[in-house]
């Protein structure tokens, strides 16, 4: 869309725009119709607050300069309003503004539970978050109980005292339970958000780095404070730990051992979900605690900027951020170390992985399937699968960090 000369522009806020004050120095600008949420700093908030549709870019530049007692050029004002906010349908009426694509780090997404049903379910279960002061201690208690039980049961499996009989019905039940457990996890996020007076969107499934993942659109979490957002992030884990605890109780009462292993699977997924280097619950918890919604990309850009400065490729001054530097270094180093370790340790397992994996997989039938066989498959192919997963993640991160210029949508 062609814009007028900047001298003739008199910007106005779109009628679908709301500004929410989350804390003393934290504001969220919301384009309701296009579903854009943008975090504002004090300067941006004060600039947008004086927009009334009658002031030109030059007048806004002078007024904001007087307000913050610092010279702000017309170019800076224009860039913020028309190079950024206009494209999102926040300034004036831009017919070309696009609706925000939720979970834009996911591919091949489709909705499993529409927003209307999510709202009903979250209204039913929001009472689970009453007494937020005890919420985190409940998670700690459940985690200790599950971990203790898992250690005891795992030792008994390793000592060959127990053997689970796996048949066709067991496999179907396990997959169905895994599917339902993931849905319950997402409803946990939605219910926590509902407790704080906000609504979640659709629940669906997509692919993240070639791995299927469930998601829930909790974009309205940006409208609540930092501590409340952490509760929303933990809501899914909280619900699953409760389910796992119930499974353990039933297992010990009925001696139905498969339930104990289902609780173990939930605990294992919880640990993986808390990994702060992947875009899972642990990542969003850390991002909210540090008020850095684009933590991963920001850390990689920070390290790159420091490196360029050290090799004299740029003269730009850099404000060193210890946390971003350490996080980016750990994230980058972990992936590189593991990839090199696997190449040196057993290169043949990586080169022969596709052929060998398919050969063994095609020979597996329901009749010869057992828990011991599943453990052996995990031992044989677990590290190669993780190697290729992290390799794709690393390459994907390099490409996306170059292409991404704005914070990713939060789900």
Most confident of 78-82, 178-182, 344-348: 178-182
In a domain, 2, yes or no: no
CATH at residue 62? 1.10.10
pLDDT greater than 60 at residue 62: yes
In a domain, 67, yes or no: yes
Domain boundary among 289, 315, 349: 289
Quote the pLDDT of residue 232. Answer: 93
Distance CA(346)–CA(359), nearest Å, equals 19
- Based on the fold, state whether residues 131 and 79 are members of the same structural domain: no
Label residue 56 exposed, middle or buried (CB < 10 Å: 0-12, 13-18, 19+): middle
User: For residues 182 and 232, is the Cβ–Cβ distance under 8 A?
Assistant: no
Mean pLDDT confidence for 348-372: 65
Share of the chain above pLDDT 90, in %: 12
pLDDT greater than 80 at residue 154: no
- Based on the fold, state whether residues 308 and 368 are members of the same structural domain: yes
- Based on the fold, state whether residues 232 and 306 are members of the same structural domain: no
pLDDT greater than 80 at residue 373: no
Domain containing residue 30: 17-88
pLDDT tens digit string along 288-314? 888 787 788 788 888 888 877 777 766
Mean pLDDT confidence for 174-182: 86
- Based on the fold, state whether residues 128 and 256 are members of the same structural domain: yes
> For the ranges 6-10, 174-178, 326-330, which has the lowest average pLDDT?
6-10
- Based on the fold, state whether residues 272 and 378 are members of the same structural domain: no
Mean pLDDT confidence for 16-39: 75
> For the ranges 30-34, 87-91, 141-145, which has the lowest average pLDDT?
30-34
- Based on the fold, state whether residues 324 and 247 are members of the same structural domain: no
In a domain, 94, yes or no: no
Quote the pLDDT of residue 105. Answer: 60
- Based on the fold, state whether residues 383 and 305 are members of the same structural domain: yes
Distance CA(71)–CA(83), nearest Å, equals 20
Mean pLDDT confidence for 154-163: 50
Residues 6 or more apart whose CB falls under 8 angstroms from that of 226 comprise 23, 26, 288, 289, 291
- Based on the fold, state whether residues 35 and 56 are members of the same structural domain: yes
Report which of residues 284 and 156 the model is more confident about. Answer: 284
In a domain, 363, yes or no: yes
In a domain, 408, yes or no: no
- Main-chain phi, psi angles of 408, to 5 degrees: -75, 155
In a domain, 22, yes or no: yes
User: For residues 91 and 82, is the Cβ–Cβ distance under 8 A?
Assistant: yes
Q: How many domains does the chain have?
A: 3
Domain boundary among 256, 289, 322: 289
CA atoms within 13 A on the CB side of 204: 18
- Based on the fold, state whether residues 300 and 210 are members of the same structural domain: no
- Based on the fold, state whether residues 159 and 224 are members of the same structural domain: yes
Q: At what angle do helices 42-49 and 57-68 cross, to 10 degrees?
A: 130
> For the ranges 135-149, 173-187, 200-214, 396-410, which has the lowest average pLDDT?
396-410
pLDDT greater than 50 at residue 404: no
The per-residue pLDDT of the chain, averaged, comes to 77
Report which of residues 411 and 366 the model is more confident about. Answer: 366
Quote the pLDDT of residue 3. Answer: 46
pLDDT greater than 60 at residue 411: no
In a domain, 176, yes or no: yes
Domain boundary among 240, 269, 289: 289
Report which of residues 221 and 293 the model is more confident about. Answer: 221
pLDDT greater than 80 at residue 21: no
In a domain, 411, yes or no: no
pLDDT tens digit string along 103-120? 556 666 788 999 999 999
Residues 6 or more apart whose CB falls under 8 angstroms from that of 100 comprise 31, 34, 35, 36, 37, 88, 219, 409
Q: Strands 36-40 and 26-31: what pairing?
A: antiparallel
pLDDT greater than 70 at residue 128: yes
- Based on the fold, state whether residues 299 and 164 are members of the same structural domain: no
Task: Quote the pTM value.
Answer: 0.72
DSSP H or E stretch at residue 26: strand 26-31
pLDDT bucket at 200, cuts 50 / 70 / 90 = very high
- Based on the fold, state whether residues 365 and 341 are members of the same structural domain: yes
Residues 6 or more apart whose CB falls under 8 angstroms from that of 15 comprise none
């Amino acid at each position: 869309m062609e814009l007028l000369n900047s001298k003739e522009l008199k910007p106005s806020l779109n009628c679908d725009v709301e500004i929410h004050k989350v804390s003393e120095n934290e504001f969220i600008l919301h384009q309701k119709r296009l579903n854009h949420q943008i975090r504002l700093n004090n300067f941006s908030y004060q600039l947008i607050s004086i927009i009334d549709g009658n002031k030109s870019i030059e007048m806004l530049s002078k007024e904001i300069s007087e307000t913050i007692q610092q010279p702000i050029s017309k170019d800076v004002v224009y860039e913020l309003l028309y190079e950024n906010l206009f494209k999102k349908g926040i300034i004036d009426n831009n017919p070309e503004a696009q609706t925000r694509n939720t979970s834009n780090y996911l591919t091949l997404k489709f909705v499993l539970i529409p927003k209307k049903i999510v709202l009903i379910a979250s209204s039913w279960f929001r009472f689970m978050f009453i007494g937020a002061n005890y919420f985190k201690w409940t998670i700690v208690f459940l985690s200790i109980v599950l971990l203790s039980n898992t250690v005891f049961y795992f030792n008994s499996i390793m000592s060959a005292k127990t053997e689970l009989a796996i048949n066709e019905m067991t496999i179907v039940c396990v997959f169905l339970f895994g599917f339902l457990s993931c849905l319950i996890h997402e409803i946990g996020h939605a219910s926590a958000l509902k407790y704080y007076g906000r609504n979640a969107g659709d629940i669906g499934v997509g692919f993240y780095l070639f791995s299927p993942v469930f998601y829930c659109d909790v974009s309205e979490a940006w409208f609540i404070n930092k501590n409340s957002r952490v509760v929303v992030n933990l809501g899914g884990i909280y619900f699953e730990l409760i389910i796992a605890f119930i499974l353990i109780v039933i297992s010990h009462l009925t001696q139905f051992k498969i339930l104990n292993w289902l609780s173990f699977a939930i605990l294992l997924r919880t640990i993986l979900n808390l990994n702060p280097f992947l875009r899972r619950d642990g990542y969003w918890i850390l991002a909210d605690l540090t008020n850095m919604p684009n933590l991963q990309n920001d850390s990689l850009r920070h390290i790159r900027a420091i490196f360029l400065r050290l090799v004299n490729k740029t003269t730009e001054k850099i404000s060193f951020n210890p946390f971003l530097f350490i996080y980016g270094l750990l994230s980058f180093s972990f992936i590189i170390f593991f990839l090199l370790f696997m190449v040196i340790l057993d290169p043949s397992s990586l080169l022969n992985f596709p052929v060998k994996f398919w050969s063994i997989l095609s020979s597996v039938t329901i009749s010869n399937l057992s828990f011991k066989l599943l453990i052996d498959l995990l031992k044989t192919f677990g590290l190669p699968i993780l190697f290729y997963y992290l390799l794709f993640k690393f390459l994907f991160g390099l490409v996306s960090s170059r292409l991404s210029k704005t914070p990713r949508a939060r789900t």
